Structure 1
Amino acid sequence: MRRSRPFWRLTPAERQVWDAYPSGAWVDLRTGDAARDDPAGGAGWGRARTVRAELIVALLLGAHPARAGQVAGLRLAGARIVGSVNLSDATITTKLHLLSCHLSGVVSLTDATVRGVRFRGCDIHRIRAARCTVDGLFELDACTVRAGVRLDNAHVTGQLRLARSRLHAPDGPQTATESFKEDKSRPFTDAEKRERGWDQNHWALWAGGLTVDGGAFCRDMRTVGGLRMIGARFNSGLYLQRAVIKANGPHAVYADHMQASSVEFSAGFTAEGTVRMRGARVAGVLSFDMAVLDADDRCLHLSHMQVDELILRPSSARGEVNLGYTRVGVLLDHPEAYPGHVRLNGATFESLRGDMTPADRLSWVSRDPEGYRPQPYEQLAAWYRKIGHDPEARGVLLAKQRARRATRRVPGRIAGYLLDVVVGYGHRPWLAGVWFALLLAAGTAVFATHPPAQVGLDERRIFHPFPYTLDLLVPVSVFEQRGAWEPVGWTQWLANVLIASGWILATALIAGGTRVLRPSNTS
């Protein structure tokens, strides 16, 4: 008996698709001419290459079941598909594979469950696959999507492939089903929505809550509009080598609280806008090696992250870098990674590698836009001590005290300058020895030519300028020369200066030593 079908009038192209579906055979409507087969011009393809979206939907929903012993599937190349492919809420047990097709409508997989979806070299108006479950491969290889891709809260058990794709943010206003549900008592402005990532028209890829069990391969992808991946999980990694992301607003990538085994923004990856991954967790490598980062305000917002290895070696960067409160296992970087301000307060790291000299590191910890922060200095000094570089650690702590001095009032600054000049805040105690030697030499020379008068004349004494000067400098008289001789004339002032200098040197040594030995959290 002849099977019934919902379409009695089929074009020749549709008839081929209908007949091929039960066996999963390919239907190729291409001409072989590359220019004529370009799906960007598919709107002009005639009736011979036109297939209605309703037919594709009907077949995938079981209108023409598979033949016994065969696996059904829709495999179509070089077709102009008119209308929207609406498979929302459906359960599809066969695969959909389109090659070099032109789809003028929306491909809707919202809340659907599908076996596998492959679009290669297609020109598509829009894809909506929120909360979709793909039990296999979801591929948009070398495709152009004109009005964005929605994958929020979708689950892909296989791989996600967006390699060589071209994604554009939506052009028109949001639909009622996609609008942001704001607080009616205080409506947000368009600018506030863009800043918070709530405006879907702002994003080429809207994928908050997406889970991909296989790798997510987005190499050589180009977008006009950002990538929104808040809370996404990439269990086998996210790879965006050579991708170019041009933001329509402040953020090129918005991936707060994302989780991934590894993330590659490398090998020519370009972001025109902020790459934001606040609170993200990367169990392996997060790499910006040879990336181009360009933002007016902040090029990298990586605060509150946990990452095993962070590679910050971009070929070009412009903007602020925020690593505040981030925990890094290994940080591999170079000075060009920090072109502007650097936020490091609360950041911790286990190992530092790369081309940063101690001077570069000092500049690195001192460029917080909010001013002096003690923790980055302490963290850097602790790391230098950990690897046995005590001189570098002392240099960092000295720089910390100098930066702190600028935040104090005038008396504190004066005392700080004195401690710095005399003993380097206790981190350069040898300076006190230098000052002591200079004062001792000067006093010895002066008193050798201008000897003091003897105090008591009952016994004859021989004056020696060196022990006399030394006795003046030492706070407690050791050689009993200070009471036996009385300076005369202007040398009285020199004697008083030497006595005062001795007390100052001793006090500075004690204060500096106390500052070094006491717990750092009190400084």
Structure 2
Amino acid sequence: MEINDLTPAELRVWQAFPRGEVVDFRTDGDEDAATGADWGGERALRASVLKALLVSAPQEDGEIAALRVVGARIMGTLDLTHAVVDHSIRLSRCHFTEPPDLYGTQLRRLSLRGSVLPALDLGSARVDGLVNLSECRVRGRVHLSGAQISGGLFLERAEITARDDREPVLKLTRTAIGDDLWAPGLRVRGEMRLNGAQVSGSINLDEARLSRPGQVALDAVTLSVDGDVLLRRVHVEGWTGLRGARIAGRLDLSYARLSNPGDMALRAGSCTVGELWLRRGAPMDGGLNLRRAQTDVLFVEPEKLPDEVRLDGLGYTTLTPHEPAERRLPMLERDVDGYVPHAYEQLTAAYRRIGDDHAARLVQLAKQRRHRTTLPWYGRLWGHIQDATVGYGFRPMRALGWLLSLLAVGSVAFALHAPPPLKADEAPDFNPVFYTLDLLLPVISFGQEPAFAPEGWQQALAYVLVLTGWILATTVVAGVSRTVNRQ
């Protein structure tokens, strides 16, 4: 392109490029790029001129060439498809009339901070440094699928919307980011897709707003993150999908507002997380699916959990903060899959690791009671008997109480009217206490029970004591065996 073909504005940029100087067209430091459609020709730059500048402009010895423009109106399509650009590009607070097409481009560094764009295509691009889209306002799709970014990707306070949300609005499928995905305050109206993305640093979506009611708002299936995923104070309308994700650090949902009424709000089945934090703020408006998820530390406050959960196969080493079993058990009772034995065993193991055996026993007792509801009538009847007598073996002192009570009743009844002996000349002296013990204890004999023959109501009482003794003995043995096997 001949220099004579350039407008005064383009000439300024052309002359500043070889030395990497900044060309600032703004008349006001707080100028809003959204008003760029009204900017005059003194601030207009043709996209074809910028393309020629980046691809073939001469350079000066001893200088580092770079395109650095602030506050310009970029007219036409900046098409750098599959181009190799050896210069840093900074087009800050600019107004683009057409979507830039940078598909498959090789770049050193790209910054569009604060700019307004109809859309942006960076699919399969390779960037040796960072990509800065912070504070950008994009009225169409941002496509970064398959991009390889050696540095970080910045989307802080960016706004991305599209009228047609059948396709992802922000697409980062299989994107590889060598540092952080830094996007606190991000606003996305539509789907944000991170399927198969790899982030060597952390993901920060603190205070982000993602809106796609009734559908997937954040889809991060098989996402891989070497650091943390921070979703503190995030507000998501629609469901969040993290199935199969691998997060080495912390998945922090403190103060998060996840809303998807009538369905799952968070689907994180089969994911692997170093620490999962569900704390502070209102409970999810929708369900929570953690089936087959694995985490070292599960930081969950009971009041944060929704009314519907799926916890079958969830594995964790440490459960914090420490709460009484009575506060944790409702979490298991909300499981939409019904009775899930594994969930009770995981909670029991967590309490035992910290030495809270009392809480562990309460969880096991709750497990037996929940299991009882799945049995036929005769199984439920036997379960009620075990529960009432010895608490399924977890409350053995209850059996002693029953024995003492029955011993007192029998001793008083037989002391008031002693049963007649079978053989008066051979019978030992009658002792109502040991006679009652003979009836109650099926494996011990004090020589009283076979020597006397109760009649009438005393015979009926004797039958009750014998039957009750056998039931107590059987339930105690069953409970003790269950406890020993579990140990």
Q: Same fold (TM over 0.5)?
A: yes
In the alignment, the residues of structure 2 paired with residue 84 and residue 6 of structure 1 have an alpha-carbon distance, to the nearest angstrom, of: 20
In the alignment, the residues of structure 2 paired with residue 7 and residue 486 of structure 1 have an alpha-carbon distance, to the nearest angstrom, of: 126
Q: What aligned pairs does 1:206-221 form with structure 2 within 5 A after superposition? A: 206-221=171-186
TM-score by length of 1: 0.89
Q: What SS is found at the alignment partner of 1:60?
A: helix
CA RMSD in angstroms, aligned pairs only: 1.8
Identify if the C-alpha distance between structure 1 residues 356 and 84 changes in structure 2 by more than 3 Å, giving closer, same or farther. Answer: farther
Q: What aligned pairs does 1:27-42 form with structure 2 within 5 A after superposition? A: 27-32=23-28, 34=30, 37-42=31-36
1:369, distance to aligned residue in structure 2 (A): 0.3
Q: What SS is found at the alignment partner of 1:108?
A: coil
1:331 and 2:298 are equivalent in the alignment: yes
Find the counterpart in structure 2 of residue 189 from structure 1.
none
Q: What aligned pairs does 1:96-111 form with structure 2 within 5 A after superposition? A: 96-111=89-104
TM-score by length of 2: 0.95
Contact 1:332 1:354 (8 Å CA) reproduced: yes
In the alignment, the residues of structure 2 paired with residue 378 and residue 268 of structure 1 have an alpha-carbon distance, to the nearest angstrom, of: 32
1:102, distance to aligned residue in structure 2 (A): 0.4
State which of 208, 212, 236 in structure 2 corresponds to 1:247. 212
Deviation per residue, 1:291-336 (Å, 9 max, x gap) = 2222222222111111111111141222111111111111112012
Q: What aligned pairs does 1:5-404 form with structure 2 within 5 A after superposition? A: 5-6=1-2, 8-32=4-28, 34=30, 37-62=31-56, 64-168=57-161, 170-172=162-164, 199-200=166-167, 203-247=168-212, 249-296=214-261, 297-316=263-282, 317-354=284-321, 356-404=323-371
In the alignment, the residues of structure 2 paired with residue 519 and residue 441 of structure 1 have an alpha-carbon distance, to the nearest angstrom, of: 34
1:509, distance to aligned residue in structure 2 (A): 1.5
Structure 2 counterpart of 1:75, one-letter code: R
Residue range with higher mean Cα deviation, 226-235 or 315-324 = 315-324
Structure 1 counterpart of 2:316, one-letter code: F
Q: What SS is found at the alignment partner of 1:163?
A: coil
Deviation per residue, 1:229-287 (Å, 9 max, x gap) = 01111101111112111125522211111111233434422212222111111111111
Structure 2 counterpart of 1:362, one-letter code: L
Contact 2:332 2:343 (8 Å CA) reproduced: yes
Residue range with higher mean Cα deviation, 476-485 or 117-126 = 476-485
1:382, distance to aligned residue in structure 2 (A): 1.7
Contact 2:214 2:239 (8 Å CA) reproduced: no
Structure 2 counterpart of 1:21, one-letter code: F
In the alignment, the residues of structure 2 paired with residue 243 and residue 343 of structure 1 have an alpha-carbon distance, to the nearest angstrom, of: 26
Structure 2 counterpart of 1:65, one-letter code: P
Find the counterpart in structure 1 of residue 416 from structure 2.
449
In the alignment, the residues of structure 1 paired with residue 317 and residue 407 of structure 2 have an alpha-carbon distance, to the nearest angstrom, of: 47
In the alignment, the residues of structure 2 paired with residue 307 and residue 498 of structure 1 have an alpha-carbon distance, to the nearest angstrom, of: 57
In the alignment, the residues of structure 2 paired with residue 477 and residue 265 of structure 1 have an alpha-carbon distance, to the nearest angstrom, of: 66
Contact 1:131 1:152 (8 Å CA) reproduced: yes
Q: What SS is found at the alignment partner of 1:85?
A: coil
In the alignment, the residues of structure 2 paired with residue 476 and residue 249 of structure 1 have an alpha-carbon distance, to the nearest angstrom, of: 65
1:119, distance to aligned residue in structure 2 (A): 1.0
In the alignment, the residues of structure 2 paired with residue 519 and residue 88 of structure 1 have an alpha-carbon distance, to the nearest angstrom, of: 65
1:478, distance to aligned residue in structure 2 (A): 1.3
Q: What SS is found at the alignment partner of 1:500?
A: helix
Contact 1:139 1:160 (8 Å CA) reproduced: yes
Q: What SS is found at the alignment partner of 2:68?
A: strand
The runs of 5 or more residues in structure 1 that have no matched partner are 173-193
Contact 2:324 2:359 (8 Å CA) reproduced: no
Contact 1:333 1:355 (8 Å CA) reproduced: no
Identify if the C-alpha distance between structure 1 residues 460 and 214 changes in structure 2 by more than 3 Å, giving closer, same or farther. Answer: closer
1:49, distance to aligned residue in structure 2 (A): 1.5
1:7, distance to aligned residue in structure 2 (A): 6.7
Identify if the C-alpha distance between structure 1 residues 33 and 516 changes in structure 2 by more than 3 Å, giving closer, same or farther. Answer: closer
In the alignment, the residues of structure 2 paired with residue 68 and residue 30 of structure 1 have an alpha-carbon distance, to the nearest angstrom, of: 30
Structure 2 counterpart of 1:336, one-letter code: E
Q: What SS is found at the alignment partner of 1:271?
A: strand
Identify if the C-alpha distance between structure 1 residues 355 and 50 changes in structure 2 by more than 3 Å, giving closer, same or farther. Answer: farther
* Percent of matched pairs sharing the same residue: 37
Deviation per residue, 1:325-360 (Å, 9 max, x gap) = 111111112012212212111111111112633112
Residue range with higher mean Cα deviation, 332-341 or 6-15 = 6-15
Identify if the C-alpha distance between structure 1 residues 93 and 391 changes in structure 2 by more than 3 Å, giving closer, same or farther. Answer: same
In the alignment, the residues of structure 2 paired with residue 171 and residue 442 of structure 1 have an alpha-carbon distance, to the nearest angstrom, of: 81
In the alignment, the residues of structure 1 paired with residue 327 and residue 210 of structure 2 have an alpha-carbon distance, to the nearest angstrom, of: 30
Contact 1:7 1:55 (8 Å CA) reproduced: no
Contact 1:319 1:341 (8 Å CA) reproduced: yes
In the alignment, the residues of structure 1 paired with residue 64 and residue 427 of structure 2 have an alpha-carbon distance, to the nearest angstrom, of: 124
Contact 1:262 1:286 (8 Å CA) reproduced: no
Find the counterpart in structure 2 of residue 425 from structure 1.
392
Structure 1 counterpart of 2:52, one-letter code: A
Find the counterpart in structure 1 of residue 451 from structure 2.
484
Structure 2 counterpart of 1:158, one-letter code: G
1:496 and 2:455 are equivalent in the alignment: no
